[in-house]
A and B are shown apart, each in its own frame.
Chain A
Amino acid sequence: MKETRVMLEFADDPAQRTLEGYRGNGGYQALEKALKEMKPDDVTEEVVKSGLRGRGGAGFPTGRKWKFVPKGNEKPKYIAVNADESEPGTCKDRVIMEQDPHQMLEGTLLAAYAVGATTAYVYIRGEYMECIATVEKAIEEARAANLVGKNILGTDFSCDIWVHPGAGAYICGEETALLTSLEGNRGYPRIKPPFPAVEGLWRCPTVVNNVETLACVTHIIKRGGPWFASLGCEGSTGTRLFGISGHVKRPGVYELECGKGTLREVIETFAGGTLSGRPIQGVFPGGSSFQVLKGDELDVRFDIDSVAKAGSSLGSGAIAVFDDSVRAVDVALNVAEFYAHESCGQCTPCREGADWVRNMLQRFADGEARKGDIELLMDVTDKMNGTTICALAVAIVFPIQSFLRKFRPEFEACIAKVTA
């Protein structure tokens, strides 16, 4: 198994983040082609043909999302680039922004052209200070070269791009919370309907896309949808960035095609297997918001649909591995602490439930769980599943319930012995 470096092809070259370097390696040819030879709908069709699915975690087909923007709507349209990357285990959008930001900008402009947007905001999480600086610099260079702003490359197409920093809230990665935050408010997700493509920023049609998704768009337009679809496998076309971290020998960000091996093979080939040499106890194949896979469940084919069938998800391209030097209970607690801290507090089941789940897991970690606590945890999380405004509650349910099911003996061992 080898990496297929498309997005990261020139990432190690420091010149790549400059306009000159980027152009020297073929950058902005896709934009030129689109503006001069393609109609906006052609751009969308190419993305549909490519089979591109969103890279932020939900995996929604990108071309289909763009088509939700109503035609003939008089209101201004926006692109919001979701660079809030805060899903535990995820560190790959940052690499694009720090080392090859122009491919994200080019993709943003292509998306704007496709849906008729005139302004794009890149919502970068506030803690990514280097990204903010790099992307702002890249935008300025692009603006000076008539690639951003009015009448791009001498055509009728105008689009401005601005960086908009967040300020430290995981929930702002949820697309409607991102929009609410961007408007200058606390980052509360919105009830749907209406959906952002119809009513997003300031109630105008808005497409929210992940950084990596837009980077892919650049390459799709450059080399064609069918080319992209020829990479990877059905249901997981193209290349994807995966950050592999945790108890592994070679943590890092790798660009891979899906479907060329199993999850285990990916971890062993690229990350070198466990640091300790001890067997893997569990893996989060797609960030902390999805079910954990046990050490003996890793022979699943490495693609979106296969992992989904195995009861988990490739999510945001974040593979976190842990061996048996840590207790499963402690990993679950750490994850529960994260969500309790990050819940926005808007709706009842998540606001109250996240804290309750964390408190119960703390009891397990302290070896003071009561008999019946496992069933109680399952029941409480059941009542958080599908009952909330956004998916943060679900992001608690999936991993915690999977820990309870798959590591049950470890949890039972934490139940306090009753003294006679």
Chain B
Amino acid sequence: MTVEEARGTFSPELVARVEEMAKRYPHRKAALIPAMHFIQAERGGWFSDETIRDTAALFGVPDMHVRGIVGFYDMFHDAPVGKHVVRLCKTLSCHLRGAAKLREHIRERYGVGNGETTADGAFTFKCFECLGHCANAPMMLVDDRKCLDLTVEKLDEILGGLR
């Protein structure tokens, strides 16, 4: 697939954005990871084989290069996800302030463990390492929204509202 053909597989808005980003670097490949966030969002929140192929063609790199990036970075998903992605921090300060209990609660109440999606597809739950809000532990990200100083009640209020 040529770059031109690859462009045709994405929305014009995304293509425009990617091309604009590519101009910021002396080498096009540097725009790959920033672009992959937008590509993931446009392609249902994950990287299928097809999306990997299209992305690779868009940047003129082998598909295995893109696959290796999906496999390396925690924010890229190689399997379908729910409507929302919930990232609960599990490291050090959050651990000290009760993250483990919240994890257990999520398993009991919503039936999901690390990496799993709820039966109704509302959200995919991922345990994440330190998310940098240690003074507001425990905390989680729901998509790009931060939810700080969690308690079980607060957690239920947020997750319960997700459809």
Contacts and interface: CB of A to CB of B under 8 A. Distances in A.
Touching chains A and B, CB distance < 8 Å: yes
Interface in B15-36: 24, 26-27, 29-34, 36
B34 A342 contact: no
B146 interface: yes
B132 interface: yes
B75 A126 contact: yes
Contacts of B137: 245-246, 251
Contact of B93 (A88, A181, A186): A88
Interface stretch (A333-341, A352-360, A406-414): A333-341
A186 B68 contact: yes
A266 B137 CA distance: 20
A86 B76 contact: no
B129 to A, nearest CB: 5
Interface stretch (A40-48, A165-173, A227-235): A165-173
Interface string A308-323: 0000000000101010
A131 B135 CA distance: 17
Given A91-B135, A183-B30, A338-B91, A167 B128 contact: no
A157 interface: no
A284 B87 contact: no
Contacts of B146: 130
Interface string B60-85: 01000100110011111000000000
B6 interface: no
A243 interface: yes
A365 to B, nearest CB: 12
Interface residues of B, number: 42
Nearest to A76: B26
Given A126-B37, A167-B75, A334-B91, A184 B32 contact: yes
Count chain B CB atoms within 10 A of each CB in A184, A246, A322, A342 and give the residue with the most: A184
Interface string A162-196: 10111111100000000001111111000000000
Given A89-B92, A167-B74, A94 B132 contact: yes
Count chain A CB atoms within 10 A of each CB in B30, B69, B136 and give the residue with the most: B30
A127 B72 contact: no
A129 interface: yes
B37 A169 contact: no
A202 interface: yes
Contacts of A251: 93, 134-137
A252 interface: yes
A164 B92 contact: no
B144 interface: yes
Interface in B76-129: 76, 87, 90-93, 95-97, 128-129
Contact of B129 (A253, A322, A338): A338
Contacts of A326: 96
A86 B37 contact: no
A247 B138 CA distance: 12
A22 interface: no
Contact of A164 (B29, B34, B87): B34
Contacts of A168: 73-76, 128
Given A127-B87, A245-B134, A89 B75 contact: no
Contacts of B73: 126, 166-169, 187
Contacts of B76: 167-168
Given A88-B130, A167-B75, A202-B26, A129 B144 contact: yes
A320 B93 contact: yes
Given A91-B132, A318-B134, A342-B129, A162 B24 contact: yes
B27 A184 contact: yes
A185 B92 CA distance: 29
A127 B128 contact: yes
Interface of B: 24, 26-27, 29-34, 36-37, 59, 61, 65, 68-69, 72-76, 87, 90-93, 95-97, 128-137, 141, 144, 146
Interface of A: 76, 85-91, 93-94, 125-130, 160, 162, 164-170, 181-187, 202, 243-247, 251-253, 284, 288, 318, 320, 322, 326, 331, 334-335, 337-338, 341-342, 344
27 contacts: A76-B26, A85-B132, A86-B129, A87-B130, A88-B92, A88-B129, A91-B134, A91-B135, A125-B132, A129-B141, A160-B24, A169-B74, A170-B129, A182-B30, A184-B27, A184-B30, A245-B93, A246-B96, A246-B137, A251-B93, A252-B135, A288-B91, A322-B96, A326-B96, A331-B95, A338-B91, A342-B129
